[in-house]
């Protein structure tokens, strides 16, 4: 178990660097957005302000999330007990299987919802229709690429 914990400790250190670095980058981008360095220029001021506020909120949420993850990882590095809990939580087979099933189901549901939205939007707005169609196609292509990748990665041949 000690070798596993040492590997996990190294992985957690890498995650601290990644999450902390991403939080810093997001904070800098958040400051730039708040300062007006990245303005939204649309004809309708109400829509521009809504998009600015939405963008600010998303950046703030992401920044706080990565700061929180950094704190969780730093706490895990403080002792073997906390590190062992993180290791056990991340290597729980039942939780992994549940995540696989959720991912599989949500992909099908998202595709159906996107296509339904594209059909409805088709009579209202051509740009929205083509955007939804492009997102659905991109989602399908990503699924295809992942299927090919995992089919080649996890072969029955040893």
| pLDDT tens for each residue of 44-87 | 889 889 999 999 999 999 999 999 999 999 999 998 888 888 88
CA distance 114 to 126: 15
The residue ranges of every structural domain in the chain are 1-91, 94-158
To the question of pTM greater than 0.95 for the whole model, the response is no
CA distance 35 to 54: 15
Summarize the chain as % helix, strand, coil (round to 5).
Answer: 85, 0, 15
pLDDT in tens, 91-141: 888 988 898 889 889 989 999 999 999 999 988 989 999 999 999 999 999
CA distance 62 to 150: 29
**CB distance 111 to 139 below 8 Å:** yes
């Amino acid at each position: 178990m000690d070798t596993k914990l040492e590997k996990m400790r190294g992985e957690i250190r890498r995650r601290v660097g990644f999450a902390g670095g991403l939080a810093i980058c997001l904070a800098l981008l958040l400051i730039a957005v708040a300062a007006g360095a990245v303005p939204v220029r649309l004809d309708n001021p109400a829509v521009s302000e809504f998009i600015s506020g939405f963008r600010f909120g998303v950046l703030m949420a992401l920044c706080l999330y990565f700061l929180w993850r950094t704190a969780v990882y730093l706490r895990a590095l403080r002792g073997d007990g906390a590190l062992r809990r993180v290791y056990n939580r991340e290597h729980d087979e039942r939780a992994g299987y549940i995540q696989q099933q959720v991912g599989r189901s949500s992909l099908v549901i998202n595709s159906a919802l996107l296509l339904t939205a594209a059909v409805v939007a088709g009579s209202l707005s051509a740009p929205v229709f083509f955007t939804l169609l492009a997102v659905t196609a991109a989602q399908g292509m990503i699924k295809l690429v992942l299927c090919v990748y995992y089919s080649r990665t996890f072969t029955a041949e040893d």
